């Protein structure tokens, strides 16, 4: 029997979100007779709720380095701890999943220093740097090919944010779709009716958002949009799924605005698929994204989606995505969301999403081939 290929999945976040879900999904759908997966976080793991599954089904382990991503010494401490970790653990593949350029560089360098043959840098964010940061990061990008063997991205914008110009121009990076199990998100009228009854949402106009409570997700503007929606449709409810450092801040803001009673702060949910059935509209006014997994899930659920135009148009898989400018007022957003959603004929679009290359069972094979490919 051939030895399994050992893959170390590295994620920068300690909160479970879109990137964490994508990493876990690709690992779940790999051929587990050929691969085993370990998961490592620089601080606390985002996979606490999934440890049993990772150990028992994925033949893996979950590791934490315990490095807080604060303070001037974080990268020095990260270097020391990850270097020691690789002295004690051997891997065929180190797959670094992050939108943080310097973090990716350091982790890839340490992996190379410890003799790892395949080092993948996978960009999940499309941060647009300005001023001196743009100059500095353009310089740092040049070192990515010195430490990585493979370059992956969820969108062209995410690739441009992470990799040097010659990698982009010669198309040496590979696009990996943020694929999902489309069958889980298939629109079902009966499920929708039952869940709305259970959640006491009958007769309500339900606006949905799924995302970590961090600055990039722009929750403050989302509350402003919902405030305007309530003026027009007083029976509206906003469902917020996720957790993060700004969770309490956004809660307090909702109270100050007088709309707290109309918002459900659901928290972190392992399986968000049922909630898409409940929504009437999906709103994502982020400052930037790589290619948000939630936008793929929302489209697979047949929802009208309202995204900021700072998000790549590559995520418009169906005709149900509407890009709105963050320069437009919250009133404009609210009116657009209501006018389109009220006359929307919701249908099952999961097959359309699958055929566009976003079905995990197909895309996982592509990732397997990258893991197995010789450098």
What's the CATH number where 322 sits? Answer: 3.40.50.2000
Judge if 102 and 175 occupy the same domain. Answer: yes
Number of domains in the chain: 2
The domain of 261 spans 182-356
Residue 222 sits in the same domain as residue 304: yes
Enumerate the H helices of the chain as residue ranges.
18-28, 51-56, 74-88, 101-113, 131-141, 144-147, 156-162, 165-169, 189-198, 219-232, 247-257, 273-278, 293-300, 330-342, 350-353, 360-372
Same domain, 75 and 158: yes
pTM: 0.86
pLDDT at 78 over 90: yes
Same domain, yes or no: 193 and 167: no
User: Same domain for 81 and 144?
Assistant: yes
What is the C-alpha separation between 67 and 76, in angstroms, rounded? Answer: 10
Contact 207, 236 (CB under 8 A): yes
The stretch 182-197 carries a mean pLDDT of 95
Cα atoms in the Cβ-side hemisphere of radius 13 Å centred on 233: 22
How much is the average pLDDT of 196-222? 96
Same domain, yes or no: 171 and 295: no
CB 307 within 8 A of CB 315: yes
Mean pLDDT in residue range 48-70: 90
Considering the chain, what is the average pLDDT of its residues?
A: 94
The owner of tokens 């249908």 is 347
- The CA–CA distances, whole Å, from 280 to 20, 158, 199, 309, 347 equal 26, 29, 14, 21, 12
Residues 100, 209, single domain; the answer is no
Strand order in the sheet with 150-153: 62-64, 35-41, 5-11, 93-97, 118-123, 150-153, 174-175
Per-residue pLDDT at 100: 86
What does the alpha-carbon distance between residue 179 and residue 358 come to, in Å, rounded to a whole number? Answer: 4
Please tell me whether residues 20 and 126 are part of one structural domain: yes
Question: Where does the pLDDT of residue 1 fall: very low under 50, low under 70, confident under 90, or very high at 90 and above?
Answer: low
Say if residue 70's pLDDT is above 80.
no
**Residues composing the chain:** 375
Pairing between β-strand 205-210 and β-strand 281-284 as defined by DSSP bridges: parallel
Tell me how far apart the alpha carbons of residues 345 and 276 are, in angstroms, rounded to a whole number. 15
| pLDDT-above-90 percentage for the chain | 83
Residues 349 and 236 in one domain: yes
Q: How far apart are CA 48 and CA 24, in angstroms?
A: 12
Distances, alpha carbon 70 to alpha carbons 40, 66, 67, 160, in Å: 18, 12, 9, 26
pLDDT per position as a tens digit, 347-375: 999 999 999 999 998 899 999 999 999 76
């Amino acid at each position: 029997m051939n030895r399994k290929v050992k893959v170390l999945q590295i994620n920068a976040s300690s909160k479970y979100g879109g990137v964490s879900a994508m990493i876990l999904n690709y690992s779940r759908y790999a051929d587990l007779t050929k691969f085993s997966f370990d998961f490592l976080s620089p601080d606390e793991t985002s996979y606490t709720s999934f440890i049993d599954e990772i150990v028992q089904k994925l033949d893996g382990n979950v590791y934490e380095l315990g490095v807080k991503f604060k303070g001037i010494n974080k990268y020095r401490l990260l270097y020391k701890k990850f270097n020691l970790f690789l002295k004690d653990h051997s891997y065929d593949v180190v797959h670094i999943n992050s939108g943080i350029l310097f973090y990716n560089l350091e982790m890839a360098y340490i992996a190379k220093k410890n003799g790892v043959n395949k080092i993948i840098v996978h960009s999940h964010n499309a941060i647009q740097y300005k001023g001196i940061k743009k100059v500095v990061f353009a310089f740092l990008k040049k070192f990515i090919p010195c430490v990585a063997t493979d370059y992956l991205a969820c969108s062209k914008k995410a690739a441009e944010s992470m990799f040097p110009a010659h990698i982009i121009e010669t198309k040496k990076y590979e696009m990996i779709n943020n694929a999902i199990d489309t069958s889980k998100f298939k629109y079902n009228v009966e499920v929708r009716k039952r869940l709305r009854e259970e959640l006491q949402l009958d007769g309500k106009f339900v606006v949905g958002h799924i995302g970590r409570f961090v600055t990039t997700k722009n929750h403050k503007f989302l509350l402003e949009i919902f405030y305007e929606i309530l003026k027009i449709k007083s029976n509206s409810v906003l469902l917020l799924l996720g957790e993060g450092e700004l969770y309490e801040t956004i809660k307090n803001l909702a109270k100050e605005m007088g709309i707290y009673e109309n918002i459900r702060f659901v928290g972190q949910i392992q399986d968000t698929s049922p909630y898409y059935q409940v929504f009437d509209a999906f709103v994502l006014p982020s400052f930037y994204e790589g290619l948000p997994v939630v936008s793929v899930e929302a489209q697979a659920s047949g929802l009208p989606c309202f995204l900021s135009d700072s998000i790549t148009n590559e995520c418009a898989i169906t005709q149900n995505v509407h890009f709105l400018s963050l320069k437009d007022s919250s009133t404009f957003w609210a009116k657009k969301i209501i006018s389109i959603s009220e006359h929307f004929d919701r249908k099952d679009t999961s097959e359309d999403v699958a055929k566009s290359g976003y079905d995990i069972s197909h895309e996982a094979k592509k990732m397997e081939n990258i893991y197995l490919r010789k450098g």
